[in-house]
Structure formats: C-alpha cells, structure tokens
C-alpha cells in the first residue's frame, strides 16, 4: 500500500481526530511512498530505528514518537541522529499515542485486559478521554496474589501499594503514566487500580482511600497495543510485520 493509504487508514481506524494529545498522531517523519514492510515498537529510540534499518522496513509504527510539546524544537544531538537515520534510509515514522491507548480492540488498555485475564472489560465513559477502563477478576483474590499474577503475566516485578491481605475483585486501569487517575477509581469504589508508573504521592492516595495500587511498568503495560496494531495491518493488507521489543526496565 502507499504511505498515504496507510496514514489515512490509521487516522480513521484509531479515530485520531477525537483526541487532544501531547504529540502529533500520524506521520511524523516522511519516508518511502510505498509500504511493504513495517516494524512496530513501543518507543522510537535509536535501537528500534537501527533494528528497522536491518529489517529493511519502509515504516516504523510506535506508541511514543517524536515532537512532544515539552521537548526542545531544535533538531540537534540525539534527535538529529534519530531523524537522520530515518531520512537516509527512507523510513517513515508514524506515532500514535492516546488513540492507541484507547482503541477498543488493539488498544493498550484492551490488550492489557486480555493479558491479565480481566473479564467484563469496558471503558469508563465520560472521564479522561475514555482512557480509563474497568473490569473484574474471574474470582476475588488477595492483593498480594494479584501482584504476583501481574508480575508473572508481564514478566516484570510489579510494585503494589496497599494492604496485601485485602481482597481484589473489581479493577480499573490505564496503561503508561496514569497514576494520578487513581482518585477516579477510588471514588467509584473499585478495589484496585493498575498503571505503569508511580509517584511518591501515590502511596498516600492509595492507603488513605483504601484502594490497591499496582505500578506494573510503563513499557511493560504498553507492549501489547502497538504489536496488535501491526498484526492487524499485516492481516488486513498483507504487509510484512516485525514487532521489535527494545527492553526497558521502566
């Protein structure tokens, strides 16, 4: 397919126009006009770009791309090296941030529910641009046992804040750096909230509101959406797809 066809399809499929985001969603660096091979990964770091070059990719699709509102606008140093590698090798870079978190099928939140075996998963409507989801465990388990379950499924030691002996049945979650959404889950009477990162204040918010908090890793909670998106594109359009996991302990 062409770059334009892929870009337009993803804009519609991920409903990009529905989101107010911190970075541009869609094509960020222009490369080849013809797309046969795509590489997907969580973050557009140099290691992912190098892997895409080795795989002769025409496009890289990521969750964390370039040109965030808070970053310097000048293209020097690390940013220059990354963008130069893309341009020299004629590789497109496409980034999808909040739209990929929220998508009901291939999104990070939807995919995390599958990985963690959370049932009756659904969006909490009307808050946070539809980025917070809720669901249930098949049967109640202790907060400590749920921490072990998350750690095993994500292959990363999860950090639990709260009462180890409390029972967890209802769960809310938002992948990545969404620890401050814990208040929304607590006000809804949900037993536990999962996100990727944790702040000093999160401990007090969890303990004082009687909700269990799980910091499961920013990278670890967002591995699955971009991979599912790549698989979807490969199935639908016959593209060659390579998912490349650049390990990140955060």
At 142 the pLDDT is 98
At 210 the pLDDT is 98
At 182 the pLDDT is 98
HSE of 120 in the Cβ direction (CA atoms, 13 Å)?
A: 10
> Which one, of 102, 107, 79, 113, lies nearest residue 20 by Cα?
102
The answer to whether 38 and 241 are in contact (CB under 8 A) is yes
Angle CA 63–146–137, to nearest 5 = 85
At 89 the pLDDT is 98
> Which one, of 15, 12, 27, 16, lies nearest residue 62 by Cα?
27
pTM above 0.95, yes or no: yes
At 10 the pLDDT is 98
The answer to whether 177 and 197 are in contact (CB under 8 A) is yes
Residue 1 CB burial class (10 angstroms; 0-12, 13-18, ≥19): middle
Angle CA 147–184–248, to nearest 5 = 45
| pLDDT tens sequence for the chain (250 residues) | 999 999 999 999 999 999 999 999 999 999 999 999 999 999 999 999 999 999 999 999 999 999 999 899 999 999 999 999 999 999 999 999 999 999 999 999 999 999 999 999 999 999 999 999 999 999 999 999 999 999 999 999 999 999 999 999 999 999 999 999 999 999 999 999 999 999 999 999 999 999 999 999 999 999 999 999 999 999 999 999 999 999 999 9
Angle CA 196–38–150, to nearest 5 = 25
209 torsion bin: left (phi>0), alpha (psi -120 to 50), beta (else): alpha
Residue 211 CB burial class (10 angstroms; 0-12, 13-18, ≥19): buried
At 81 the pLDDT is 98
The answer to whether 135 and 112 are in contact (CB under 8 A) is no
At 36 the pLDDT is 98
At 230 the pLDDT is 98
């Amino acid at each position: 397919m062409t770059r334009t066809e892929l870009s337009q399809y993803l804009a519609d499929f991920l409903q990009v126009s529905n989101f107010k985001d911190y970075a541009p969603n869609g094509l960020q660096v222009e490369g080849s006009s013809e797309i046969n091979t795509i590489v997907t990964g969580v973050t557009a770091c140099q290691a992912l770009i190098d892997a895409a070059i080795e795989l002769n990719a025409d496009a890289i699709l990521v969750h964390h791309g370039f040109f965030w509102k808070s970053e310097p606008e000048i293209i020097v140093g690390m940013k220059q090296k990354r963008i130069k590698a893309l341009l020299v090798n004629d590789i497109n870079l496409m980034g999808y941030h909040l739209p990929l978190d929220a998508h009901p099928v291939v999104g990070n939140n939807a995919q995390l529910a599958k990985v963690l075996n959370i049932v009756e998963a659904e969006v909490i409507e009307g808050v946070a641009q539809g980025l917070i989801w809720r669901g249930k465990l098949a049967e109640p388990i202790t907060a400590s046992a749920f921490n072990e379950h998350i750690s095993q499924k994500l292959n990363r030691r999860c950090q639990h804040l709260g009462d180890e002996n409390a029972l967890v049945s209802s769960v809310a979650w938002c992948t990545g750096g969404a620890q401050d959404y814990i208040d929304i889950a607590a006000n809804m009477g949900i037993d536990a909230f999962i996100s990727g990162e944790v702040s000093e204040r999160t401990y007090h918010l969890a303990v004082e509101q009687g909700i269990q908090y799980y910091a499961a890793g920013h990278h670890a909670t967002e591995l699955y959406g971009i991979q599912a998106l790549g698989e979807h594109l490969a199935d639908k359009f016959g593209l060659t797809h390579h998912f490349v996991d650049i390990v990140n302990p955060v």
